[in-house]
Amino acid sequence: MKKEILFGNVQMDAQVAMNVNGDINIWPETWEADKAPIMPERKVSYRGRITMMEDGQAEVKRYHIGSQLPLYCKLFSTEHCDIIRTQGGQLIERWKFKKNLSIHQVCDIRRREQPAVEAFFVILKEGVA
């Protein structure tokens, strides 16, 4: 779900521009432009995706577009396995076992549940193709 608050790029005043993608650009006042360099270094990046340039221009980058959505979407699950999809569309097969199980018990559980997991992948592949 993508929310667009602005319908187009907006120039708030001579110094501030808000872009449709969420970025904000801030330029120094005209009387400050004569003072070069304003920043002691070429480019400084701060946390929160803020970058200050040598001439005083500041850029505030937007957060990841999908950050409002959950990171994973559960598609299929068994007693010990979950198949989830990331926001980027990758599929992850995640197995969870109790710590007190032996390796033989883990192999036995995987052997029992693996056909159901593979069947789901086959169904998923046939639905996409």
C-alpha distances (whole Å) from 41 to each of 44, 62, 129 are 7, 24, 53
**Residue 63, pLDDT above cutoff 80:** no
DSSP string, 69-89: S-SEEEEEE-SSEEEEEETTS
Q: How confident is the model at residue 51 (pLDDT cuts 50, 70, 90)?
A: confident
3-state secondary structure (DSSP) of residue 17: strand
**Residue 102, pLDDT above cutoff 70:** yes
Top-confidence residue, 44 or 109: 109
3-state secondary structure (DSSP) of residue 62: coil
3-state secondary structure (DSSP) of residue 45: strand
Residue-level pLDDT at 1: 47
Top-confidence residue, 95 or 88: 95
- Could you identify the residue written with the tokens 């946390």? 47
The rounded radius of gyration (Å) of the Cα atoms in the chain is 25
88 burial (CB, 10 Å; 0-12 / 13-18 / 19+) is exposed
Q: 57, 15 in Cβ contact below 8 A? A: no
